[in-house]
Amino acid sequence: MLVTLIAALAGDRVIGESSGRIPWDHPRDRAHFRARTEGRWLLVGRRTYAEMEGWFGDRTPIILTRNEGFRPFSPAHRIANSVPTALDLARANGVPELIVCGGASVYEATLPFADRLVLTRLAMALQVAEPVQFPDFAECGEWCLRQVERWPAADGTSPARLEVHERKEK
């Protein structure tokens, strides 16, 4: 099973605010995220799951939480109390690719298990009081940039670059 992390990053790898908000609206990235996750199994942290309430449709989220009393919005949504448990659950269901959708703590916890990073790099710098960041994956030298797609600015949104990184063969 492939493990893919998907995220949108502004300058300095900022992915949101600690209060739990993504401080931009980028329609092209939203469309890309919808298409890339359609019909798929996703892994999300409990906070990101709450932010995405009502959005999942035909996708199957596994919610990562240590709270044994946690109840998902839908009985079709699954729960795991650790990353290995989530990976086992997805494998047991024959999932070919598990897509990790954040937030920050879940990207951090799943990076060691990841095969692929699908990153939208938004050409914007943000001034947010308490930013949360995507992990500094490049520093370990284990990743290779395999694909780049440039998105020009449109309808008042910033230009962006879609990057696909794959883990280097050992």
Ligand X SMILES: NC(=O)c1ccc[n+]([C@@H]2O[C@H](COP(=O)([O-])OP(=O)(O)OC[C@H]3O[C@@H](n4cnc5c(N)ncnc54)[C@H](OP(=O)(O)O)[C@@H]3O)[C@@H](O)[C@H]2O)c1
Binding interface with ligand X (CB under 6 A): 7-8, 15-17, 20-22, 45-48, 51, 64-67, 70, 81-83, 101-106, 109, 132
Residue 63: phi and psi, rounded to 5, are -95, 125
- Greatest alpha-carbon pair distance for the chain in Å reads 45
Q: What's the rounded Cα separation, in Å, for the pair 12 and 100?
A: 20
Nearest distance, CB of residue 13 and ligand X, angstroms: 10
| Nearer to ligand X among residue 34 and residue 168 (C-beta) | 34
Nearer to ligand X, 89 or 170 (CB): 89
Least distance to ligand X, CB of residue 93, Å: 19
Rounded least distance, CB 169 to ligand X, Å: 27
Q: How far is the CB of 11 from ligand X (least distance, A)?
A: 13
Contact yes or no for 45/103 (Cβ under 8 A): yes
CA end-to-end span of the chain, whole Å?
18
Instruction: Give whichever of 17 and 142 is closer to ligand X, judged by the CB atom.
Output: 17
Tokens found for residue 139: 């520093």
E strand or H helix that includes residue 27: helix 27-37
For ligand X, give the closer residue by CB, 1 or 128. 128
Q: Name the residue with the smallest CB distance to ligand X.
A: 103
Minimum CB distance to ligand X, residue 20 (Å): 5
Residue 7 or 95 with smaller CB distance to ligand X: 7
Q: Taking a C-beta distance cutoff of 8 angstroms, is the pair 138, 116 a contact?
A: no
Looking at residue 95, its amino acid is V
